[in-house]
Amino acid sequence: MATTMRVVFMGSPEFAVPCLRALAGAHEVALVVSQPDKPAGRGSQLTAPAVKVAALELGLPVIQPRSAKTGELRDALIASGAELAVVVAYGKILPAAVLDALPRGCINVHASILPRYRGAAPVQWAVIHGEPETGVAIMQLDEGMDTGPVLLVRRVPIDPQETSGELLARLAPIGAAALLDAVSAIADGTARPVAQDHAAATHAPMLQKTDGLIDFAQPAQAVAARIRGVDPWPGAQALHRGQIVKLFRATATPRAPGLEAPGTVIAIDGAGLHVACGQDACVIREIQAPGRKRLTVAQFAAGRGVSVGDLLSRPDTEKA
């Protein structure tokens, strides 16, 4: 019979919710810690993190400390009587006092194959860089940025047309299943953490708005991967007829070398918008004009929103 553990869960966004639900179904969740409610949407309404919403639905106690460094979080963990803290996209760096507050420390669900893509946006950068696979790693947290020993890894292929948002959603339940395996191994004493090869580490910093500015002088594979990797945020942007448009659903396709400048629309057909790149061409299936709905390229072209010969260029930072 599996050993049940008393744990604290720390997380904030939707990605963490399957982990919380899985953990609550198999172990005793003594406390849930999430980031404070934040303004969101056009009306800037105060909105609770997805983890807080799920925790309240499950009848679990929730705290939302503004800082991890004041002692409030450490004291709450100790008072919970838990053995282990599980951290999934909590969104704050945890100091040593918090990491050491519970007898078994803290473990983390990280959406990459560590030591590759340490940092805040591992899924996005894996897609942007055209990686063939990614995965989920369960690691013991230490004071470094995703540098702790790894308990287990689950690998998954990345679909060539998958956006980072779609991949993140697909990884969430995989991470939840891996988490249960790791917690069970810790509980029954069979966990064997393996130190990371720090020399093989790569980094995945938080995306900036400028990461969505598309440069068609790059090879088509890189252009298409970036368009998918920055979807849903910050979104791929290009300058077209003096306006910034958003681009979605991109793939690369071969083309014979031509005289068209990178960014030139060379064809519009059922597949989408064919745009010349520094090498080959990028096919874009959906586009969104400022203040308008997201449309298929066929719909956009039917309204004379784009024509063969038009130019898509990288917006300057000020306009973006």
**Interatomic CA distance for residues 275 and 198, integer angstroms:** 40
User: What does the pLDDT read at residue 318?
Assistant: 44
Structure tokens at 56: 């309240």
pLDDT digits (tens, 9 = 90+) for 89-108: 998 999 999 999 999 999 99
| 138 touches 109 (CB < 8 A) | yes
- Helix residue spans in 189-295 (DSSP H): 220-229
Give the domains, in start order, of the chain with CATH numbers: 6-200 (3.40.50.170), 209-302 (3.10.25.10)
User: What does the pLDDT read at residue 113?
Assistant: 98
pLDDT digits (tens, 9 = 90+) for 260-275: 999 999 999 999 999 9
Spans of the chain, pLDDT less than 70:
1-2, 317-320
User: What does the pLDDT read at residue 192?
Assistant: 96
CA distances 39 to 15, 63, 163, 231, 284, Å, are 19, 18, 26, 22, 33
| 109 touches 19 (CB < 8 A) | yes
**Interatomic CA distance for residues 29 and 248, integer angstroms:** 40
Structure tokens at 286: 């959906």
Please state whether beta strands 6-11 and 28-33 pair in parallel, antiparallel, or not at all (unpaired).
parallel
* 31 closest CA partner among 72, 85, 95, 70: 85
pTM (2 decimals)? 0.94
**Interatomic CA distance for residues 142 and 95, integer angstroms:** 9
**Interatomic CA distance for residues 274 and 297, integer angstroms:** 10
Angle at 280 between CA 275 and CA 284, to 5 degrees: 35
With H, G, I as helix, E, B as strand and everything else as coil, classify residue 63. Answer: strand
Other beta carbons within 10 angstroms of residue 198's beta carbon come to 10
